[in-house]
Amino acid sequence: MIPIETVQKVLAAALKNGADLAELYLEDKDTLSLTLDDGRLEQATQGNDMGGGVRVFYGNTATYAYTDDLSEKALLEAAQAAAAAARGTNEARVTIDLTRRESGLLFPVQRPFDQMSAADKATILRQMDQAARAYHPAVTQVRASYNQTSRRVWIYNSEGVWAEDDREIIELVGVVTAQKGDVRQTMVGAIGGQMGLELLDRDPVAAIEDAAASAVLMLDSRPAPAGEMTVVINNGWGGVLFHEACGHCMEADFITQGLSAYAGLVGERVGPDFLTAVDDGTIPGRRGSIRFDDEGTPSQRTVLIENGILKEYMWDLTEARRMGRDSTGNGRRQSFRHMPMPRMTNTFIAAGPHDPEEIIRSVKKGLYAKKLGGGQVEIGRGDYVFAVVEGWLIEDGKLTAPVRGATLVGNGPDTLRQIDMIGTDEALDGGRGMCGKGQSARVSVGQPTVRVPKLTVGGTDREMTGMMR
């Protein structure tokens, strides 16, 4: 993007005041967003965002300055601003040898975005809209969106790191609302991944039809039961609960600050012996995958929990330096305007030993959480409240009736310890998920079917209160 000689000058300027480590991050991002709302193209935006940031470490403290001007002059000014907090001086001439890192990870794009016009992409949204409306007369509102992002990053530092990554993200999302009398139900269907237009082979129309089917089905659902009961959580997107209520607790900034329920527990049992959980940024096609993180560390597969034992946290460079250890490749940032922090990539519970159908059959009375919606989580402690947007009663080992208005209330680490069955049907989400932690990051979540024998369910029907199995 810029001459390597300029990179070396910027890093040398950042070290001028006696810093231990200097880093230059550059980014070039192109985006296209189309939104169809009730049959009308309401939004069509295309843009480019380009800039760079300089980070300087002195001891365990880091300072940062950024600019959207990539001229040598502007980058040198950013380096001087970032270095201003350093208290020493370095009068020696600094020579920085940069060696480009290569990645063996292949995230191929089979059909580049420019092979289809924006008008043709909008046509797909119209097809999604028409399919959802044709599904049932109760469908009253449809919103469909298409988003593509081409993001290229360059990371250099004074220890010789030179890493580059191309990240092509495509997403199609359909939001369907159905109404019957005073009852309204809204469901989301989405597909997405790190790939090109080959995503369209997965049929976005089918995704929005599935959302329409769920919205219409839930119109005739009964009020959800409330109380403590056995809860079975569906595979795939159900992993969002682990991501939010447990995964964040394993990010190193919460660990080093002593704010996490998992601080100091490496080597301790935190779940059943058939539970393994992983953060893996190397999976082809996933939205959270990266060849290198935003600090130039190669992406990796990190086993967080193995056979119920906590094995590792997710580290970025800042927290790793603080504790005298290595980064796990989890340093991520929203853009060049932000400093990186420890963030998840693709985080999931791995397959267990139980037949998913047997898990359902094992429940006398309880709740099957087929689709989870939004939630609130106290990051660190892991206390959560999650909405169940599609739930089913389980009675005598069978799914009997859909229920609405259910919420799951609990504590992530406590829930994890209680899990007593994990299915063989491990799956990742279908392609949605934007994680917020002061900054936004694309991620994937997943799990097999899991059973929690005792979980608090908030609902509106008090008839079935009490422990249910």
As for how many domains the chain has, the answer is: 3
Q: Which domain holds residue 80?
A: 4-31+45-100
Distance of CA 279 to the CA centre of its chain: 11
Residues 288 and 378 in one domain: yes
Residues 215 and 347 in one domain: no
Q: Kindly report, residue by residue over 159-206, the tens digit of the pLDDT.
A: 999 999 999 999 999 999 999 999 999 999 999 999 999 999 999 999
Residues 190 and 61 in one domain: no
Residue 314 domain-assigned (yes or no): yes
What pLDDT is recorded for position 466? Answer: 28
Residue 355 domain-assigned (yes or no): yes
Residues 197 and 313 in one domain: no
Residues 293 and 369 in one domain: yes
Domain termination site, one of 100, 123, 140? 100
What pLDDT is recorded for position 122? Answer: 97
Residues 216 and 321 in one domain: no
What pLDDT is recorded for position 77? Answer: 97
Residues 92 and 169 in one domain: no
Residue 40 domain-assigned (yes or no): no
**Residue 332: count of CB within 10 angstroms of its CB:** 26
Residue 39 domain-assigned (yes or no): no
What's this model's pTM, rounded to 2 decimal places?
Answer: 0.94
Q: Kindly report, residue by residue over 297-324, the tens digit of the pLDDT.
A: 999 999 999 999 999 999 999 999 999 9
Does the pLDDT of residue 103 top 60, yes or no? Answer: yes
- What is the average pLDDT score of the chain? 94
Q: Kindly report, residue by residue over 410-464, the tens digit of the pLDDT.
A: 999 999 999 999 999 999 998 877 899 999 999 999 999 999 999 999 976 433 3
Residue 404 domain-assigned (yes or no): yes
Does the pLDDT of residue 401 top 90, yes or no? Answer: yes
Average of pLDDT values for 102-113?
Answer: 94
Residue 14 domain-assigned (yes or no): yes
Residues 93 and 118 in one domain: no
Average of pLDDT values for 239-256?
Answer: 96
What pLDDT is recorded for position 381? Answer: 87
Residues 233 and 212 in one domain: no
Residues 368 and 406 in one domain: yes
Residue 106 domain-assigned (yes or no): no
Residue 373 domain-assigned (yes or no): yes
CA distance 413 to 200: 38
Residues 357 and 385 in one domain: yes
What pLDDT is recorded for position 465? Answer: 28
Q: What is the CATH number of the domain that holds 25?
A: 3.30.2290.10
Residues 197 and 236 in one domain: no
